[in-house]
């Protein structure tokens, strides 16, 4: 209601606040306007987005100190950056904090600043545009009013880093809105967009940029209704209410984040259950727990994962000159690659020998766009950019041509023979092959230097990682263009060299094959999957093989077996017969498991995995990682760890396979492999990397 009133108010002020008064703050622009309202605008020095750190909060305390003496009519807090309000704490600063007592001191200082804001005896108003996350939301919650500019989003993503709010966020949000909604936001890390945030009561009003000054006047004048919890919210916050809700939250959270691997959400539930009735106690418990979590192993590793993602993002140059893309082969992969490119704003032509397959790809693009919550007009625009092109007319204009034809060298070479003469001389030709050696494919080309691998994973829309595959004859600029293109469509490029299975499939296959051998030995698939899930994999190897498709998993294993010196276990005959008989896994409804409604039907009573089963699964994967590093398939351990986490879901809280190996000790890993070799055969023989590179 108030939001509507604000939207209809005509503002006389078209600028978002007065000019800086030259107070000399590094991170804040401060001024008092003609109406006696103070404006503190956050403008974090040296950063494109606002983040909070000790210095930002210290300056903010100084501002408050001054205002306590001057008593303005009100205080407006907003961001001077066009991108948004504040994305939360500066995560780089977290990396250096390893002492809980020091973290606690920092938290206490931050809390003192926010308490001071909350207690100010003049109205305080946060004007929020763009993302308002984590510490940024905690700052806004300490204000009397939160006024959102349409498009603002709110959330506590701390849980993704193995943390929960630390600056009173859990205390304030559970007292502002329905406490179970507040807890859900913090437990899932999900973001609430403006309308949802308004409905939940996180924001008091929604306005437009040009009405900001009027909105501020209305808030200062007491015309904006302040949100308070109703009877139902209060009832949910009683001890009895919290007990019941906490039980449900624990069970639901444990399914996705078991407490032994991800303690943060479980601690948060416990803090609220125990202390939700006492503000000071809850604040104390939140701060204590945050300090423990931040210096604990899970958060340290998840913070590492955050930077592994940044590292991969950084592999793409800032801009890309790829505007037009032509995709050949509109099947499972090519169709979705083309659809994604169109959704991301590129002009795409899509060819195939079969027109029905192109039409089906266009339908999938519409579904993908809808799944991404695009508006109908945006979906239409994306579809307009995706042009069916059975004759390949788009080839001549494309900056990048992606081949996603069948996995047969002769067919791919024939396709290249038709494409290459029609392509622009400086265009890049990329193959999505998952197993064919690029140096062999390059031999058939006139311009092998413009040829690279861009290896997407299935499903294209979901999998962030894409391998950018080089070969000896590839030109550096072609590889850079490929990485830039991936950055442009929001993927994470992992540079790898051509080698059997490249990086990800090569490291994943020994793990999948070991699981298959265990089934052959009579172990139940559920038991094997449980061993991997207990290690922290999002799903076990048997379920994963069913998901990937047993035909695909086995053909990758065949290629590796043929091309690698290392023994890859033979596929049992019964499994080949199964695949020949059409049991391909999830896509056919039956593989190792029966699949119903996209879910594997599992026997919950399968026996628990025995001692050593996890090592037997994980060690072959670690060893393949070591081999890839030794052979230079991938340049370093960080790119490898990022690739394995973002392509296979390797237990993120362990920080990646090589990080896990380093934590465990390379010598220990080599010993574990040697003992597996003694029991199960030469496929476990440890790579020399462990002893050569061990500390
Ligand atoms: P697919 O069989 O679904 O699609 C291949 C398409 O190519 C078909 O639509 C077919 O009609 C078309 N085609 C055949 N000959 C052609 C020609 N001469 N000109 C144009 N189009 C032609 O296969 P897919 O699963 O999409 O795989 C495509 C490529 O992607 C393969 O190299 C595969 O190894 C690779 N890949 C597949 C996956 C996966 O999980 N499916 C994952 C990563 C990479």
Nearest atom, ligand 1, residue 431 CA: 32
- C-beta of 418 in contact with ligand 1 (< 6 A): no
Interval between CA 559 and ligand 1 midpoint (Å):
17
Q: Look at residue 15 and tell me whether its pLDDT is greater than 50.
A: no
Q: Report d(CA 103, CA 300) in Å as an integer.
A: 13
Task: Give the range among 15-19, 67-71, 657-661 with minimum mean pLDDT.
Answer: 15-19
pLDDT bucket at 13, cuts 50 / 70 / 90: very low
Token pair for residue 504? 């990800």
Interval between CA 472 and ligand 1 midpoint (Å):
25
Interval between CA 345 and ligand 1 midpoint (Å):
23
- C-beta of 390 in contact with ligand 1 (< 6 A): no
Angstrom CA distances, 385 to 32, 85, 324, 343, 569, stand at 49, 33, 10, 8, 46
Q: Look at residue 352 and tell me whether its pLDDT is greater than 50.
A: yes
Interval between CA 161 and ligand 1 midpoint (Å):
37
Q: Look at residue 449 and tell me whether its pLDDT is greater than 80.
A: yes
Interval between CA 433 and ligand 1 midpoint (Å):
9
Q: Look at residue 693 and tell me whether its pLDDT is greater than 90.
A: no
Q: How far apart are the first and last CA of the chain?
A: 65
- C-beta of 328 in contact with ligand 1 (< 6 A): yes
Task: Decide if 313 contacts 354 (C-beta within 8 A).
Answer: no
- The catalytic residue among 79, 170, 237, 505 is 505
Q: Report d(CA 121, CA 123) in Å as an integer.
A: 7
Task: Decide if 74 contacts 39 (C-beta within 8 A).
Answer: no
Interval between CA 352 and ligand 1 midpoint (Å):
10
Determine which residue's CA is closest to atom 20 belonging to ligand 1: 352
Determine which residue's CA is closest to atom 40 belonging to ligand 1: 458
- The whole-number pLDDT of residue 10 equals 31
- The catalytic residue among 326, 455, 471, 659 is 455
Does the active-site annotation cover 435? no
Taking residues 105-132, report their average pLDDT: 97
Q: Report d(CA 681, CA 660) in Å as an integer.
A: 24
Nearest atom, ligand 1, residue 548 CA: 40
- The whole-number pLDDT of residue 594 equals 97
User: How does DSSP classify residue 21?
Assistant: -
Does the active-site annotation cover 505? yes
Interval between CA 277 and ligand 1 midpoint (Å):
59
- C-beta of 464 in contact with ligand 1 (< 6 A): no
- Considering the chain, what is the average pLDDT of its residues? 94
- The whole-number pLDDT of residue 227 equals 77
Q: Look at residue 547 and tell me whether its pLDDT is greater than 50.
A: yes
Q: What is the DSSP string of 495-546?
A: EEE--TTTTHHHHHHHHHHHHHHHHHTT--HHHHHHHHHHHT-SS-HHHHHH
- C-beta of 415 in contact with ligand 1 (< 6 A): yes
Token pair for residue 547? 């998901």
Does the active-site annotation cover 228? no
Nearest atom, ligand 1, residue 330 CA: 9
- The whole-number pLDDT of residue 8 equals 33
Q: What percent of the chain stands above pLDDT 90?
A: 90
List strand residue ranges (DSSP E) for 582-651, in order. Answer: 594-596, 599-601
Q: Look at residue 6 and tell me whether its pLDDT is greater than 60.
A: no
Exposure string of 445-467, with b = 16+ CB inside 10 Å and e = fewer, is bebbebbbbbbbbeebbebbbbb
The number of C-alpha atoms within 13 Å of 170 and in the hemisphere containing its C-beta is: 37
- For the segment 460-503, what is each residue's pLDDT rounded down to a tens digit? 999 999 999 999 999 999 999 999 999 999 999 999 999 999 99
Locate tokens 């030259």: which residue?
22
Three-class DSSP category at 460: coil
Taking residues 144-155, report their average pLDDT: 96
Determine which residue's CA is closest to atom 28 belonging to ligand 1: 404
**155 sits in which H/E element:** strand 153-155
Angstrom CA distances, 2 to 8, 204, 579, 602, stand at 10, 8, 63, 52
- The whole-number pLDDT of residue 595 equals 97
Determine which residue's CA is closest to atom 43 belonging to ligand 1: 457
Q: Report d(CA 319, CA 360) in Å as an integer.
A: 32
- For the segment 209-263, what is each residue's pLDDT rounded down to a tens digit? 999 999 999 999 999 888 777 888 888 889 999 999 999 999 999 998 999 999 9
Domains of the chain, start order: 2-295 (3.90.226.10), 324-499 (3.40.50.720), 505-632+665-692 (1.10.1040.50)
- The whole-number pLDDT of residue 226 equals 82
Task: Give the range among 11-15, 93-97, 230-234 with minimum mean pLDDT.
Answer: 11-15
- C-beta of 286 in contact with ligand 1 (< 6 A): no
Q: Which residues pair with 570 in a beta bridge?
A: none
- The strands making up 192-193's β-sheet, listed across from edge to edge, are 131-133, 153-155, 192-193
Nearest to 86 by CA among 30, 26, 149, 154: 154
Token pair for residue 111? 């809390």
User: How does DSSP classify residue 349?
Assistant: E
Q: Report d(CA 86, CA 60) in Å as an integer.
A: 14
pLDDT bucket at 7, cuts 50 / 70 / 90: very low
- C-beta of 329 in contact with ligand 1 (< 6 A): yes
The best mutation among 326, 328, 333, 456 to test binding of ligand 1, ranked by most ligand atoms within 8 Å of the C-beta, falls on 333
- The whole-number pLDDT of residue 695 equals 64
Task: Decide if 77 contacts 125 (C-beta within 8 A).
Answer: yes
- C-beta of 404 in contact with ligand 1 (< 6 A): yes
- For the segment 285-341, what is each residue's pLDDT rounded down to a tens digit? 999 999 999 999 999 999 999 999 999 999 999 999 999 999 999 999 999 999 999
- The whole-number pLDDT of residue 16 equals 56
Q: Report d(CA 589, CA 547) in Å as an integer.
A: 10
- For the segment 593-617, what is each residue's pLDDT rounded down to a tens digit? 999 999 999 999 999 998 899 999 9
Does the active-site annotation cover 58? no
The best mutation among 329, 408, 430, 461 to test binding of ligand 1, ranked by most ligand atoms within 8 Å of the C-beta, falls on 329
The number of C-alpha atoms within 13 Å of 46 and in the hemisphere containing its C-beta is: 5
- C-beta of 331 in contact with ligand 1 (< 6 A): yes
- The whole-number pLDDT of residue 504 equals 97
Q: What is the pTM of this model?
A: 0.92
The verdict on whether omega for the bond into residue 76 sits within 30 degrees of 0, i.e. cis, is no
Interval between CA 483 and ligand 1 midpoint (Å):
22
Token pair for residue 598? 């996209």
The verdict on whether omega for the bond into residue 459 sits within 30 degrees of 0, i.e. cis, is yes
- C-beta of 463 in contact with ligand 1 (< 6 A): no
């Amino acid at each position: 209601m108030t939001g509507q009133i604000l939207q209809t108010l005509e503002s006389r002020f078209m600028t978002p606040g007065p000019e800086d008064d030259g107070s000399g703050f590094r991170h804040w622009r401060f001024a008092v306007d003609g109406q006696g309202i103070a404006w503190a605008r956050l403008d974090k020095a040296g950063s494109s987005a606002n983040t909070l750190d000790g210095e930002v909060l210290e300056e903010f305390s100084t501002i408050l100190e001054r205002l306590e003496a001057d008593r303005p009519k009100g205080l407006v807090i907003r961001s001077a950056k066009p991108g948004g309000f504040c994305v939360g704490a500066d995560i780089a600063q977290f990396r250096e904090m390893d002492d809980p007592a020091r973290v606690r001191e920092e938290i206490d200082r931050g809390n003192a600043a926010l308490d001071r804001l909350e207690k100010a005896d003049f109205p305080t108003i946060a004007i929020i545009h763009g993302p308002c996350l984590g510490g940024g939301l905690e700052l806004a919650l300490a204000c009397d009013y939160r006024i959102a500019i349409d498009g603002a989003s709110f959330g506590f993503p701390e849980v993704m880093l193995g943390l929960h709010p630390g600056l009173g966020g859990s205390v304030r949000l559970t007292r502002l809105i329905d406490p179970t909604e507040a807890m859900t936001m913090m437990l899932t890390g999900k973001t609430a967009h403006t309308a949802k945030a308004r409905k939940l009561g996180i924001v008091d009003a929604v306005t437009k940029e040009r009405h900001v000054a009027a909105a501020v006047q209305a808030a200062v004048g007491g015309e904006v209704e302040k949100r308070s919890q109703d009877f139902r919210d209060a009832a949910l916050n009683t001890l009895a209410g919290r007990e019941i809700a906490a039980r449900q939250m624990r069970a639901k959270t444990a399914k996705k984040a078991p407490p032994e691997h991800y303690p943060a959400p479980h601690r948060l539930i416990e803090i609220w259950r125990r202390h939700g009735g006492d503000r000071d106690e809850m604040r104390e418990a939140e701060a204590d727990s945050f300090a423990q979590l931040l210096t604990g192993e899970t958060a340290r590793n998840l913070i590492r994962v955050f930077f592994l993602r940044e590292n991969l993002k950084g592999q793409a140059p800032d801009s890309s000159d790829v505007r037009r893309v032509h995709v050949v082969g509109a099947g499972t992969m090519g169709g979705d690659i083309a659809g994604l490119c169109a959704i991301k704003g590129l002009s795409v032509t899509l060819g195939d020998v079969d027109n029905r397959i192109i039409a089906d790809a266009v339908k999938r693009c519409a579904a993908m766009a809808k799944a991404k919550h695009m508006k109908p007009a945006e979906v239409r625009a994306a579809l307009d950019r995706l042009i069916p092109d059975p004759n390949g007319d788009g080839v001549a204009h494309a900056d990048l041509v992606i081949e996603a034809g069948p996995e047969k060298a002769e067919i791919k070479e024939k396709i290249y023979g038709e494409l290459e003469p029609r392509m622009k001389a400086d265009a890049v030709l990329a193959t999505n092959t998952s197993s064919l050696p690029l140096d062999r494919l390059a031999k058939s080309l006139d311009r092998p230097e413009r040829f690279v691998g861009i290896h997407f994973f299935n499903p294209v829309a979901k999998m962030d990682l894409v391998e950018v595959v080089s070969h000896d004859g590839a030109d550096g600029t072609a590889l850079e263009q490929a990485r830039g293109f991936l950055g442009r469509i929001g993927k994470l490029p992992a540079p790898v060299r051509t080698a059997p299975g490249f990086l990800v499939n090569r490291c994943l296959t020994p793990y999948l094959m070991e699981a298959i051998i265990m089934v052959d030995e009579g172990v139940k698939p559920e038991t094997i999957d449980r061993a991997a899930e207990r290690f922290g994999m999002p799903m076990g190897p048997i379920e994963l093989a069913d998901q990937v498709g047993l035909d695909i998993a086995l053909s990758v294993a065949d290629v590796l077996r043929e091309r690698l010196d290392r023994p890859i276990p033979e596929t049992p005959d019964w499994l080949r017969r199964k695949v020949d008989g059409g049991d391909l896994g999830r896509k056919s409804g039956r593989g190792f498991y029966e699949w119903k409604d996209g879910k594997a039907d599992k026997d919950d009573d399968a026996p628990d995995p025995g001692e050593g089963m996890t090592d037997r699964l994980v060690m072959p994967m670690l060893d393949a990682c070591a081999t890839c590093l030794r052979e230079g398939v991938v340049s370093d351990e960080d790119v490898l760890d990022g690739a394995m986490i973002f392509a296979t879901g390797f237990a993120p809280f362990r920080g990646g396979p090589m990080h896990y190996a380093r934590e465990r000790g390379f010598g220990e890993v080599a010993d574990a492999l040697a003992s597996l070799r003694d029991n199960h055969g030469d496929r476990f023989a440890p790579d020399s990397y462990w002893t050569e590179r061990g500390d």
